[in-house]
Chains A and B, each alone.
Chain A
């Protein structure tokens, strides 16, 4: 456990860890875990930048209602809190400068 991270896992997960990529960086997350929770536990603090102002956002409600945990997977924006970790997920952080330019 890394003591500098804001979130910690209280018990060792029995699920095998699989590799996913977040903005290109490899992460080992428990297979089948809630993706938003797993990313938080892995130290990801900023999930996206908003299309309106470019402000950083991260999970807020964890129950599929607020849409602040949106990430891009396979070219689609999806709620990380409604997805389970699967091997090889390619996750990118929405809010590239290009997106912000269009929305301004």
Chain B
């Protein structure tokens, strides 16, 4: 089994930047990633897209090539198509590649597992034709595939970006159905200082809105009572807007109301997490370098708290400096000297976040779905069932899981975990921190028993 100074999980901006920085500091580094090419979701296939598509996606996307090029020039071993399913203390990483099991040991682990779309349980959200907005972006970036008759639903600047890209590609969305309200916008004004420090982002947002307006894309803000209707696929998006019920016939619905850290691997390693009120999600508890309470485990990028691609790359480099210092490849003085400009750049990147989080809060209807709405897509469990289990004595998600199978399916709670915590917290009057989260265990992703058995070392323990 090979041994490395550092193994990094995830080849998005944080993972790529951290791997390059650490390898250039002299550490032996392996970067494991599920995808066939580096980039993560934000820079998906950035080295691979034809020029026409790159132009459509814009300079913020192609900026990712700086990271992929640096990664290729570094001595980092980048293992593509590697699905990590277990990280044991010490550390031993087990991963699956081309249907074969493989393992690697490391002194330190950096998790750069990025973000997931915040679960958006609305009536009809499991129908074919309903996808996350991120999925829409991935289809476009990786495959050049666009939805012909789509409605974008939810809140946040990502919806504007997708709408503009669709418009530029000649397939504008039928409408933007947004859940944020004028009250949210007014509340966000108290964060205007930060927003102005992050002015390039704000200016970009305003330009996108202007472009959508010129393009004639209708926007409905403050939408409520949203549901997707259809028998075997999405057919109609229904919502109420200014007291009127509206029905938009469509084939595709893209949902988005923010992204949240993908904490599965960090939780499986026992890293402490806490609730972030500003971001309305759990984040790992880290020091200013991304160091967790589990010795040797670091977290960087959106998986450590949402900050966007540029902040992710900066936090990846900061974590790499700390790791290099811990591994005696850098003096503390040198680490701190190199970190200083990275920290100020990251602060600038993060400046507009409070404004954006307040202006585009998560959709209230999806945070506390009506009883009949499915919250666990895999096991098809409704919000009402979870509330019923709270009445039967469930204080936290793990007893709820035992009572009714929420979070037991192959996605392992990725798309119901936050909803179940919120529903239980609402029912019991506890905080999200008191309510807690699913206990995450291996496999982080399903793995065949055959592959698992191929890693058998000593004989199995005895039987009853």
Contacts and interface: CB of A to CB of B under 8 A. Distances in A.
Given A8-B146, A34-B142, A68-B377, A45 B233 contact: yes
Interface in A50-72: 50, 52-53, 55-68, 70
A84 B414 CA distance: 24
Nearest to B414: A65
A11 B144 contact: yes
The 4 closest A-B pairs by CB, nearest first: A58-B128, A37-B143, A62-B135, A6-B251
Nearest to A37: B143
B169 A66 contact: no
B143 A41 contact: yes
Interface residues on A, range: 35 or more
Given A58-B129, A62-B138, A9 B144 contact: yes
Nearest to B231: A56
Interface in B249-298: 251-252, 262
A52 B414 CA distance: 18
Nearest to B36: A84
A66 B411 contact: yes
B390 to A, nearest CB: 22
Interface of A: 5-11, 13-14, 33-34, 37-38, 40-41, 45-47, 50, 52-53, 55-68, 70, 76, 82, 84
A49 to B, nearest CB: 10
A50 B380 contact: yes
Interface string B388-417: 000000000000000000000111001100
A60 B233 contact: no
A11 B52 contact: yes
B135 to A, nearest CB: 4
Nearest to A60: B131
B34 interface: yes
A58 B379 CA distance: 16
B145 A60 contact: no
Contacts of A33: 143
Contacts of A68: 126, 377
A68 B374 CA distance: 14
B231 to A, nearest CB: 9
B192 interface: no
A43 B409 CA distance: 27
B84 to A, nearest CB: 12
B457 interface: no
B314 interface: no
A57 B126 contact: yes
A60 B53 contact: no
A13 B83 CA distance: 28
Contact of B139 (A62, A65, A66, A67): A62
Nearest to A1: B148
A10 B146 contact: yes
B266 to A, nearest CB: 15
A41 B131 contact: no
Contacts of B377: 60, 66, 68
B233 A46 contact: yes
A9 B53 CA distance: 11
A84 B98 CA distance: 11
A65 B144 contact: no
A76 B449 CA distance: 11
A64 B134 CA distance: 12
Nearest to A49: B232
Most buried by B among A13, A41, A68: A68
Interface string B298-319: 0000000000000000000000
B445 interface: yes
Contacts of B126: 55, 57, 60, 68
B64 to A, nearest CB: 16
Contacts of B53: 10-11
B132 interface: yes
A52 B145 contact: no
B305 to A, nearest CB: 18
